[in-house]
Structure 1
Amino acid sequence: MSLHKIAVIGGDGIGPEVVEAGVEVLEALAAVEPGLAFDFKRFDWGSDYYRRNGRMMPQDGLEQIKGFDAIYFGSVGDPNLPDDVTLWGLRLAICQGFDQYANVRPTRLLPGLTGPLRPDLGKQIDWVIVRENSEGEYAGVGGRAHRGLPIEVGIDVAVFTRAGIERIARFACELALSRPRKLLTVVTKSNAQRHGMVLWDEVVRGVLRDYPGLSVDWMLVDAMTQRMVNKPGSIDTVLATNLHADILSDLAAALGGSLGIGSTSNIDPSRSRPSMFEPIHGSAFDITGKGVANPLGSFWTASLMLEHLGEQAAARRLMVAIELVTDRAEYLSPDLGGAASTAEVTSAVIAAVSGVNSPSS
């Protein structure tokens, strides 16, 4: 039997709601998938923890979770706390502390969903965006001076290193090769960002020489947004910097129907530390506690976590269940144009996973 130790961090807003729904689904999956088992341990870190303790997580937080097989994360952010405090105090502290340098975000238009594009374009969406997750514009280098004075200044430095670029480029190339189309689009902005992004281009081109089996094209990030809308079928695997991929992946999720279905993996490819898996919708305090949050992003995220844990059959079973549910209008949540509650969507996915009263029947 495969027993996977999972650290569960619900975080803020709707995070605990959708992650707990995901735990229910994973437990249902373990009940029907031979040899699959989980040991979940919950950590109450986040903005409420900050209000009690002055920190988003304990000082030894990384030490507490480093022995787990994976981290299942909900969201971070609170309208009553500065975003830089909440993000850097928890999510980025884990990503950077565990060197989870590869952020992977898949997008497909799931059955029954339409999205904002014309149907003939929407059905072409089948992408995976690889985001450099440790440096670039989010390296945290910079500072402020002369606070409160007319000459106050704030500086953020985008940090690009040869080692950081090379390792994410190799990760993206390997992922692109594993997909049927073997097509990689490299996103840049080296026409305007003349130092870091020029280094990005040079290092990526050097890595690409080791992957002659790939078809590769290049896009400026602004042009890439238009391509995603106008020619979605021309895209497969995308490699982009921390900031650029952050923006493009939210656009991708919206084109796929809703931010509520978006999923992501924060991967340490060395597997020396646990990787972290999270839906991308954020804390959504406007719907917190109303029972209407879309849990599908957390379920898709759980499928990514299963893949990372080597549970390919279970991951496929969960994705099939998700697709069975999205194909029935009565199981769509409000963000997808339906009226189903979080609990109703969760129950439908559990039924599909279990093969009892499956939504497909």
Structure 2
Amino acid sequence: MMGKPIKIAVIPGDGIGKEVMAEALKVLSQLQQRDSSLQIVTTVFPWSSDYYMQHGCMMPQDALATLKGYDAILFGAIGDVRVPDDVTVWELIMPIRKQFQQYVNFRPIKALPGIASPLANGKDIDFVIFRENAEGEYSNSGGRIYHNQPQEMTIQNTIMTRIGIEKIVQAACDYAHKYGKSKITSATKSNAIIHSMKFWDEHTQNILAQTSPALTLESIYIDALVAYFVERPQDFEVVVASNLFGDILSDLGSAIVGGLGLSPSANLNPEKEYPSMFEPVHGSAPDIAGKGIANPIAQIWSLALLLGHIGRPDAEDLIVTAIETVLTEGVVKTADIGGQASTVQMGDAICQEIANMKLVARGV
């Protein structure tokens, strides 16, 4: 007897978000054709810059209450020249991340077959970044006074809590134990940012000492760490960082394995009290929107992370294998990775690989 269907809220957003989301939903449909046990119902919400232009807000007042009724959220991209970036971010993405306590931003950094890294030593890169996603430098705390006067000033506060640091570090440690990793790398700058980052260091050390003494902890200053990402990326296994540092490191990580068009992410509420949200790292790319040339791999891989999160690692593995097979064959490539294929052609190629493989359930 079939269980209750999984409910996924779909927010395509702006620009290429709509184009790559169509391919992810096509992949999901292909999976469901192969496996009738994958019972998923999707609902598409039009919350975007277009919605803002019509209604004066990025989403309705009851949007979060609506989303809470879903098991997960699949997000596209947001951003439009007609709407300030701080409006699109703080009226759509941030409320979801913060209200649903999605305090883990998880980003895999993996060298894929058939994709040339810009690094001469870019092979065998395979690590993950755990970015604190709910507080830190991206806290809406501060203000500006004396507008347009010589003494004009502003303050932007970084807010770090003990529980916030402990939760993200523990999540990174749990992942390391689950997947047989031996080392946690912590991004810091406690030699100069002596209050918040020393606080970060202390509680990172405490968590490893108390719950994960078998793991090695290396704390590296952020300026050195970005250099090491380029010089010796193979040395990293699990990286944990504050909100801002993690954001910067994630994009750098994506760049060294081939670009943002290949990189997925997950905004996780590990306790599953609230829905988690899955989205590609890239933005809405207005310069190429509507041209049909955007790479849908990051969005499709984000779907894979979603499926793993809801208890179908078999489907997650199948999607990743299909992506790697298409890239290995090298026949279908979008412009960002050296080819001429369209968004639709890349989606079709991944769907065809899925159709050619058998879905073997595990861990259901």
Once the two structures are TM-superposed, the CA of residue 183 in structure 1 deviates from its matched residue by 1.7
Alignment of 1:286-305 (within 5 A): 286-305=287-306
- 1:189 matched residue in structure 2: 189
1:253 equivalent to 2:254? Answer yes
What does residue 272 of structure 1 align with?
273
Q: Mapping of 1:87-236 within 5 angstroms?
A: 87-118=89-120, 121-209=121-209, 210-236=211-237
Paired residue for 2:15, among 13, 16, 19? 13
| Aligned counterparts of 2:88 and 2:297: Cα–Cα separation in 1 | 24
In 1, the alpha carbon distance for the partners of 2:349 and 2:123 equals 24
Q: Residue 105 of structure 1: SS of its match in structure 2?
A: strand
Question: Following the alignment from structure 2 to structure 1, what is the Cα–Cα distance between the partners of residues 149 and 181?
Answer: 55
Shift, 1:20, TM fit: 1.5
Q: CA–CA distance in 2 between the matches of 1:350 and 1:124?
A: 26
Please state whether the residue corresponding to 2:331 is helix, strand or coil.
helix
Distance 1:245 1:112 in 2: 27
* AA in 2 matched with 1:109: A
Distance 2:17 2:155 in 1: 31
- Maintained 8 Å contact 1:27/1:38: no
- For the 8 Å contact 1:184–1:214, the answer to whether it is kept is yes
State the identity %.
44
Larger mean Cα displacement after TM superposition, 132-141 or 328-337: 328-337
Secondary structure of the equivalent of 1:140?
Answer: coil
Pairwise CA distance, 1:327 = 1.3
The TM-score with structure 2 as length reference comes to: 0.95
Q: Distance in 1 between matches of 2:47 and 2:41?
A: 19
For each residue in 1:269-312, what CA deviation from the matched residue of structure 2 results, as whole angstroms up to 9, or x when unmatched?
A: 11111000000110100000100000000011111101101101
Tell me the CA shift for residue 34 of structure 1.
4.5
Aligned residue in 2 for 1:84: 86
Give the one of 40, 44, 47 matched to 2:46.
44
Counterpart CA distance in 2 for 1:129 and 1:206 is 20
Alignment partner, residue 359 of structure 1: none
For the 8 Å contact 2:117–2:123, the answer to whether it is kept is no
Pairwise CA distance, 1:133: 0.2
The whole-number CA distance in structure 2 between the counterparts of 1:179 and 1:216 is 16
Q: CA RMSD in A?
A: 1.1
State the shift of 1:153 in Å: 2.0
Deviation at 1:226, TM superposition (A): 1.0
Tell me the amino acid that sits aligned with residue 237 of structure 1. Answer: V
**C-alpha displacement at 1:350, in angstroms?**
0.3
Within 1, Cα distance between the matches of 2:262 and 2:67? 26
Query: 3-state DSSP class of the match of 1:144?
Result: strand
Structure 1 residue identity aligned to 2:84: P
Q: After TM superposition, give the deviation of residue 16 of structure 1 in Å.
A: 1.1
Give CA-to-partner distance per residue, 1:144-167, whole Å, 9 cap, x none: 222233332222101111111111
Give SS of 1:72's match. Answer: strand
Q: TM-score, normalized by length of structure 1?
A: 0.96
> Bigger CA drift: 34-43 or 335-344?
34-43
Q: Which runs of 5+ in 1 are unaligned?
A: 357-361
Specify which of 49, 60, 63 is matched with residue 61 of structure 1: 63
SS at match of 1:205: helix
SS, match of residue 194 in structure 2: coil
Corresponding residue number in structure 1 for 2:323: 322
Amino acid at match of 1:207: I
> Structure 2, unaligned stretches of length 5 or more?
358-364
Deviation of 1:122 (Å): 1.4
Q: Deviations over 1:74-130 (max 9, x none)?
A: 011112221111100101111011110000000111110111011xx2122101000
Determine the C-alpha separation between the residues in 1 that align with 2:32 and 2:146.
Answer: 57
- Give the distance between the partners of 2:170 and 2:62, measured in 1 at CA: 32
Return structure 1 stretches of 4+ with deviation > 4 angstroms: none
Report the 3-state secondary structure (helix = DSSP H, G, I; strand = E; otherwise coil) of the residue aligned with 2:139: strand
Count of residue pairs the alignment pairs up: 354
